[in-house]
Structure 1
Amino acid sequence: MNSVNSVSAYIIEHASSLAVEIVEYNIAKLEFEVQDSVKHNIIHFQTEFIQFLGEAITYENDQMVADGFHKWYRKYEQQGAPPEKVSSIVAPYADVRLFFNKRITAICEQYSLTLAEASLILQRLNYMLDIGLTKSIVAYEEYTIMEDQKRQKEIIRLSSAIVPVKEDVAVLPLIGSIDHEKAEYLIHTAIPKISGMGIHCLIIDFSGIKNLDPEISQYIFKIYKMLVLLGISVIFTGIRPDIASNAVKNGIHFASVKTYSNVKEAIKHMEIKRTNEQ
């Protein structure tokens, strides 16, 4: 058995004790207490990492190290949510890496490895640490993007709520910026919901929106036409002067739709009309 293989066997055999050393060193630098269950999981992860390091230093090339690491790491990717801050991933990295390098260097010296042999082992160690750090940051970013998308969908759902105001009348308040995603939500989710609520008249209120560009206006009129085809009367309210002015400039006309200054006025006119019809 050559010197590198001897170091490989030593690292694999003592992976558990080395992991305890590294984790204890890291935890000692923290300003908060780590629960025993969390500590146990970290030690288990580090033990497997060190065992893989022991195998990796005997691989023929770095590509084999990378492929093997990705395969090994995959089982940890779906375990739990990443930390709340990327700093919690990066902050301890330098100290842990330095301690790791010193400890492996001491083992190399113990087995009298040549400079080239020790350098190879340390290169493999640092390559694996860097791959792990990169994967952790990427996982964090993917997690935050996914959470942002969930929050955005929830915001769209809440800002597109249909509010019943009378037995067969409801209000759809448009709130915030109307974009493609929100418009699609209204078409595919809100309209089917409206058709099943027994509503005869829907008031679409524009008083809470920030924008109304030509593309979004087409969506709104598409919603209007779909509701009319379903036998639902549609009224627009809260169209501010700036929105009306921009609409005219962009060739958008509200002349074909009943409009009122606000929801209260629209309901008042509806009640007067019903009274006269009776």
Structure 2
Amino acid sequence: MKSTLTVAHYLKENAELLANKIVDDIIKKFGFQVSEEDINQAIIVYAEFLSFLSESIDCEEGSVPEQLLKWSRENGEKTAAKHNRISDILIRYPDTRMVFADFILNVSAEFGLSTEDVILILKRVHHMLDVSINETVLAFERKSEEILEKTKTELRELSTPVVPIENGLAVLPLIGTIDADRTEHLMNNVLPKIPELQIERLIMDFSGIVDIDSEVASHIFNIYRVLGLLGIDVLVTGLRPELAISAVSEGIDFSSIKTFANVKQAISAINK
């Protein structure tokens, strides 16, 4: 007990100095450059790490310093924001573990700790590093999903523009793959804006659609019906045979739909 308390006091009193040595030893093992900012931040984190370790030596296992958790999350988020791989961070942990293990063994030998005490301290160190890895990966995944969702939203905005052609006439080009998310975006964000643009006629152009299933085909033609209820004359262009077959299989009646081969033909028909 006396030996572990002595070690705890040593770690706490020399946390910053020891952290500098640990970070220096870790970096020497890396086969890549580490920025000065990352080095300084690591020293701060590991100084708190050692200080916390000193307090937890004779306490119940399970807690982790808040600074370590914050640093781990920030590492994960920063890596995701730069579109780097999570492996860029995880590759550092084996060397970090080895340096910490050597450090603990050296300190334990210096202060004459028992094997049981050494194992206890190593368990605390590895527990905190494991929690750090978990927090880093979870933060990376959350940030990556956030970036992906933002990108998808931006793409939906770009891929479903209402393009004015002349007074009262506009084109809604449907581009790419139409899925449930795109359909929901059309219903909730595009359709409500069309009456505000004082559009009397709208050309829905399907020529840029890559793929569409029967369920989404049904939703798309529901959009056609909604526009009709709003008093907007809708013309359909670029309807390929396979898309028409999907629509028919859903029981959609084409008899009332004005269809043209392309946008140019539709505009010519309007101006006759």
Question: Common fold, TM-score beyond 0.5?
Answer: yes
Unaligned stretches of 5+ residues in structure 1:
273-278
Deviations 1:95-131 (A, max 9, x none): 1110111011111111111111111111111111111
User: 2:168·2:200 contact (CA, 8 Å) conserved in 1?
Assistant: yes
CA distance in 2, matches of 1:91, 1:234: 57
SS of the residue corresponding to residue 120 of structure 2 reads helix
Q: Which residue of 1 aligns with 2:117?
A: 117
Unaligned stretches of 5+ residues in structure 2:
none
Q: How many angstroms does 1:29 deviate by?
A: 4.1
* Number of residue-to-residue matches in the alignment: 267
Classify 1:91/1:79 alpha carbon distance in 2 versus 1 (closer, same or farther; 3 Å).
closer
CA distance in 2, matches of 1:73, 1:201: 60
CA distance in 2, matches of 1:91, 1:75: 20
Q: Which residue of 1 aligns with 2:136?
A: 136
Q: Which residue of 2 aligns with 1:82?
A: 78
Classify 1:72/1:20 alpha carbon distance in 2 versus 1 (closer, same or farther; 3 Å).
closer
Q: How many angstroms does 1:169 deviate by?
A: 1.0
Give, as a single letter, the amino acid of the residue that structure 2 aligns with 1:136: T
Classify 1:197/1:76 alpha carbon distance in 2 versus 1 (closer, same or farther; 3 Å).
same
What is the aligned counterpart of 1:69 among 47, 64, 86? Answer: 64
CA distance in 2, matches of 1:191, 1:78: 40
Deviations 1:259-278 (A, max 9, x none): 11111110010011xxxxxx
CA distance in 2, matches of 1:116, 1:248: 75
Q: Which residue of 2 aligns with 1:168?
A: 168
Q: Which residue of 2 aligns with 1:208?
A: 208
Q: How many angstroms does 1:53 deviate by?
A: 1.7
Q: How many angstroms does 1:213 deviate by?
A: 2.6
Q: Which is worse superposed, 73-82 or 88-97?
A: 73-82
CA distance in 1, matches of 2:169, 2:98: 69
SS of the residue corresponding to residue 205 of structure 2 reads strand
Q: How many angstroms does 1:88 deviate by?
A: 1.2
Taking the TM superposition and a 5 Å limit, the aligned residue runs for 1:172-187 are 172-187=172-187
TM-score by length of 1: 0.89
Taking the TM superposition and a 5 Å limit, the aligned residue runs for 1:148-163 are 148-163=148-163
Q: Which residue of 2 aligns with 1:220?
A: 220
Taking the TM superposition and a 5 Å limit, the aligned residue runs for 1:1-278 are 2-30=2-30, 33-60=33-60, 62=61, 65=62, 68-69=63-64, 71=66, 73-76=68-71, 79=74, 81-83=77-79, 84-272=84-272
Q: Which is worse superposed, 138-147 or 31-40?
A: 31-40
Give, as a single letter, the amino acid of the residue that structure 1 aligns with 2:64: F
Q: How many angstroms does 1:71 deviate by?
A: 4.8
CA distance in 1, matches of 2:96, 2:70: 23
- Compute the RMSD of aligned alpha carbons: 2.0
Q: Percent identity?
A: 37
Give, as a single letter, the amino acid of the residue that structure 2 aligns with 1:262: N
Classify 1:172/1:77 alpha carbon distance in 2 versus 1 (closer, same or farther; 3 Å).
farther
User: 2:214·2:246 contact (CA, 8 Å) conserved in 1?
Assistant: no
Classify 1:74/1:39 alpha carbon distance in 2 versus 1 (closer, same or farther; 3 Å).
closer
Deviations 1:150-178 (A, max 9, x none): 11111111111111122221111111111
TM-score by length of 2: 0.90
